[in-house]
Amino acid sequence: MSASATQKPPKRALKEAVKALLTEKTPAGARVFLSRGIPTQTEEMPLVLIYTPSESAEVFDVSQKRYKRVLDLRIECITQGVDDDDLDRRLETLGELVEELMERDETLGGIASTVEFLGAEYQVEHVSDSPTGLLALRYGIEFYTYAQRLDGQCLDDFNLADINWKVGHHAEPADNIVDAHDSLPIP
């Protein structure tokens, strides 16, 4: 998949697909944000943050160059509890629900090849009467893109095959005698 003038960049489309998958389906309701930080207008909890801290890529096909990419996606669930036990229960419940929703659509509507759960990390802060906790769920999202050619350059069409025939030669080492040559136009 590669972005065109009418198509969203794949990383943006993947994050938006995750947001759509989670919005109004967890206790966070509509408080699901594509952000690394809590929006300043949001004080109500729980809430969910979605962002991508890194990405890896490797060449998958050489001609036409295509990359296999793995996007490191973080889904941070943030909530408060009455005490530590209540906070743990709320974080675990929210995390399990997010994991279940992510497993329901492992290609995110066909945008990704696979979505793989990689692990989770917990953090707790006691900055007020109620402890606040964060559960960061880590996912690897595999997808493919073609190399961008900004100069409008593209590969020539494959419309002619040159074929060299070597018939009945069993010599060791193999000889380079060509018995026949064909040029085959491809319609």
Per-residue tokens: 78: 């943030």
pLDDT of residue 172: 67
What are the extents of the domains in the chain? 10-146
The pTM (predicted TM-score) of the whole model is: 0.73
pLDDT of residue 184: 84
Q: What one-character-per-residue DSSP string does 54-116 give? A: EEEEEEEETTTTEEEEEEEEEEEEEEE-SSHHHHHHHHHHHHHHHHHHHHH-TTTTTT-SEEE
Contact 115, 126 (CB under 8 A): no
C-alpha to C-alpha distance for 85 and 81, rounded to whole angstroms? 8
Class of domain 10-146: alpha beta
Tell me the percentage of the chain whose pLDDT exceeds 90. 49
Helix (H, G, I), strand (E, B) or coil at 139: strand
pLDDT of residue 41: 62
Phi, psi of 93 (to 5 degrees): -65, -45
Low-confidence ranges of the chain (pLDDT < 70): 1-7, 39-42, 149-156, 168-175
pLDDT of residue 5: 44
Which residue do the tokens 């943030």 mark?
Answer: 78
pLDDT of residue 108: 92
